[in-house]
């Protein structure tokens, strides 16, 4: 363990102790929250997307209150910023960025990919989103509106991508298997 890791572990322990002393959160609660965050992955968001593609009531819940929709899938959201869900349509495509740092719906998608936090991605997503997406192989037609949405410390966003053609009759597991992390950020489309 290097000196920075040692210092950050000591700082984390001091914060956890302070939270416990103030009666805000016990050491066990802090450890539990860390374990939940470490266990989160894009597979959780993919399950939400697949369920929304199959269940109109769940889709409506997801679009009106992403936090409640995540909790309905067993994803704990207590104490986290609200989750908003942006629906892609034939007319509008969404791209999520955090222009200041790396605000990301970790409870639903896990830790952000390294590129999401990069200054280059953050700047290009705002300045030239179509060019950025083209580099990912995601071509947005000129007839389609591209909406860039800023994820913040106060509100986190994910995308409900359009269900690919030729997936009629697929079950939730098969649908979830084609949803990638990039699809739920808006840099790619689900393969179908």
Domain ranges of the chain: 3-37, 41-184
DSSP string, 71-101: HHTT---TTSPPEEEEE--SSEEEEEE-SSS
What tens digit of pLDDT does each residue of 32-70 get?
A: 777 877 888 999 999 999 999 999 999 999 999 999 999
DSSP string, 127-186: H-HHHHHHHTT-PPPTTSEEEEEE--SS-EEEEEPPPPTT-TT--HHHHHHT--GGGGTT
C-alpha span between 145 and 141 (Å, rounded): 8
Q: What pLDDT score does 68 carry?
A: 98
pTM of the predicted structure, to 2 decimals: 0.86
- Domain 41-184: give its CATH code: 3.90.330.10
Active-site residue set:
98, 101-103
Could you tell me how far CA 151 lies from the centroid of its own chain? Answer: 9
Q: What pLDDT score does 154 carry?
A: 94
């Amino acid at each position: 363990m290097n000196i920075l890791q040692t210092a950050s572990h000591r700082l984390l322990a001091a914060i956890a102790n302070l939270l416990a002393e103030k009666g805000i959160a016990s050491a066990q609660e802090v450890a539990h929250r860390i374990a939940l965050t470490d266990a989160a992955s894009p597979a959780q968001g993919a399950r939400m997307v697949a369920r929304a593609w199959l269940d109109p009531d769940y889709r409506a819940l997801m679009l009106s209150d992403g936090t409640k929709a995540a909790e309905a899938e067993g994803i704990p959201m207590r104490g986290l910023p609200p989750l908003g869900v942006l629906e892609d349509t034939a007319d509008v495509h969404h791209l999520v960025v955090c222009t200041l740092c790396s605000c990301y719906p970790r409870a639903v998608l896990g830790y952000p990919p390294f590129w999401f936090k990069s200054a280059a991605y953050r700047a290009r997503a705002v300045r030239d989103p179509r060019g950025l997406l083209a580099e990912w192989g995601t071509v947005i037609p000129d007839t389609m509106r591209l909406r860039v949405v800023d994820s913040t410390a106060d509100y986190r966003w994910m995308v409900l991508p359009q269900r690919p053609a030729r997936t009629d009759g697929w079950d939730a597991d098969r649908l979830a298997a084609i949803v990638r992390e990039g699809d739920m950020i808006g840099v790619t489309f689900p393969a179908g």
